[in-house]
Structure 1
């Protein structure tokens, strides 16, 4: 499970034509606070957006993955409150991008560290299964560090969407 530096973006390429950022048919994002209540806010934002985009049967999977990615960012990627400066951009941001048959949800956070997977494979544990769930429900996932004026990383999950039904007479 998971990815490392050389394969961070590989799931975006597996068996699919390359994603053209200019061909995004819909995109939106929201800033999230550094409180755990932001997980619920992210899930509600995702659900409203997916409903508007008429994503259909993948909505529940996508909302679950959004919850897990945001939770992981809030628990493991934020600086300590003493080092967090209020004038910075919100520390976590959720992005949703939709193409005709694909959707990517991405969570940006201020850490350059690899996403944290649980130390245990104990499936009865109360926590530590987030990235296992992401890996199970998404069609691919990965992460990459940001460059330029943005600091931190983006952890993303890819979902293939059913093709729109074709009109027949």
Structure 2
């Protein structure tokens, strides 16, 4: 189930992006709340409020993973330095992609767990469960780090939620 590690973004035409928004997140756990508020405001602005619960859960997990696993514990933070984590939300007509960029070169690691009451270790399981697909890829060019993304399918305006039998 948790196989889509190390694949690029799904085939989406960048020229067809309807909307895009991003925010920089500082290296502190309060940034998860900032990411949730940013996601709420962006989805409200895009008339996608009905998708907030699933998207917010996935954004929270991706940002938490970036803060917990992608940042060196004792790395010095220089004043004026760019925040190390960035959240991107991109909307196409029928898709929404949430992407979190972090400075680590390490691939996301899934943990098999039977203890679903555990406080940690199930983030990528939740991402896989609540999104329509996810993956990651290293940053291109001279940029270091990686992007972990999750895709959500959107209904077209005026489309029937359930096709006729």
1:160 corresponds to which residue?
153
2:94 corresponds to which residue?
101
The alignment of Structure 1 onto Structure 2 pairs a total of residues equal to 158
List runs of 5+ in structure 1 lacking aligned partners: 13-17
Call closer, same or farther: CA 1:81–1:119 in 2, change over 3 Å.
farther
2:141 corresponds to which residue?
148
2:45 corresponds to which residue?
52
Give the whole-Å Cα distance in 1 for the aligned partners of 2:129 and 2:112. 17
Call closer, same or farther: CA 1:69–1:152 in 2, change over 3 Å.
same
Give the TM-score taking structure 1 as reference length. 0.86
Match for residue 69 of structure 1 among 62, 67, 89 = 62
1:82 corresponds to which residue?
75
2:163 corresponds to which residue?
none
2:119 corresponds to which residue?
126
Match for residue 37 of structure 1 among 30, 33, 38 = 30
List runs of 5+ in structure 2 lacking aligned partners: 160-165
Q: Contact 2:26–2:83 at 8 Å: present in 1 too? A: yes
Give the TM-score taking structure 2 as reference length. 0.88
Q: Contact 1:76–1:116 at 8 Å: present in 2 too? A: no
The alpha-carbon deviation at position 22 of structure 1 amounts to 1.5
Call closer, same or farther: CA 1:147–1:87 in 2, change over 3 Å.
farther
- CA-based RMSD of the aligned residues comes to 1.7
Q: Give the 5 Å matches for 1:18-33.
A: 18-33=11-26
The alpha-carbon deviation at position 82 of structure 1 amounts to 3.4
The alpha-carbon deviation at position 119 of structure 1 amounts to 5.2
Q: Contact 1:118–1:127 at 8 Å: present in 2 too? A: no
Give the whole-Å Cα distance in 1 for the aligned partners of 2:111 and 2:42. 29
SS in 1 for 2:33: helix
Q: Contact 1:2–1:135 at 8 Å: present in 2 too? A: no
SS in 2 for 1:125: coil
Give the whole-Å Cα distance in 1 for the aligned partners of 2:87 and 2:31. 10
